[in-house]
A = this chain, B = another copy of it.
């Protein structure tokens, strides 16, 4: 087989980058500080995992990439908003993100908060405006926004970040606590990304059920891998290396150790593949993507 997952990811990432650049193009007239700070964080080179997952999922269920692309871009906007806010001095107080100084380091705290607020709000606007243009039905648009806002709000990502701050440098965080934290903070939006692609494609309810379980597993595996990379990988993630260590945060590395963490990633990847086997489609791209995420080192 000639299919190379790295090339697939790279080509989809380029699609996303190009579209984001178009949506937030600088224009001729002097741009506002708000737009400048949005562009700074959104157009910085990111892995674009979530939008790629959305596009791969749409493709798997026979949908049109042109319809999923604005949704994928909206997802990256939501993700970027969460990074900008998480990096703030009152939150994780990080100096480096995606290989460059964090938004508030460049534009100041208030501008960073507003850039995040705008990205979040505009993401829903984009789904509706572009969705209607691309002839996604209103029913599907409602399902997309319900899925994403549920994953991003107080039932998902925001609650995850709140728990993360509450745990702080707490010592005795159990593996279950950690799992809950990450399934909310990271897993919910990763899962919603896969589901969104399937919704655009018009996948059946039971297909989406299996897909959700698949993406819950890879979301967790992704986070464990992130913890391992963060510990050793100054510069590799584009974040300040060892930032969790600095903040004395409990991570899978500190709670389970490296060996058990790697084993857990393997188990979760195998499990995720199993869920895909229940779907009567060619799910090879999603499988390759899951395997890639478990093995990446950046």
Contact = CB atoms under 8 A, between A and B. Distances in A.
Most buried by B among A131, A152, A163: A152
Interface range, A side: 35 or more
Most buried by B among A38, A116, A158: A158
Contact of A142 (B34, B113, B138): B138
Contact of A122 (B34, B111, B154): B154
B125 A150 contact: yes
A38 B155 CA distance: 13
A85 B128 contact: no
Given A117-B117, A118-B159, A125-B146, 14 more contacts: A34-B158, A35-B154, A88-B113, A90-B109, A91-B113, A114-B165, A117-B153, A122-B155, A128-B149, A132-B142, A137-B138, A138-B138, A141-B142, A145-B145
Interface of A: 32-35, 38, 85, 88, 90-91, 108-111, 113-114, 116-118, 120-122, 124-125, 128-129, 131-132, 137-139, 141-142, 145-146, 149-150, 152-155, 158-159, 161-163, 165-166
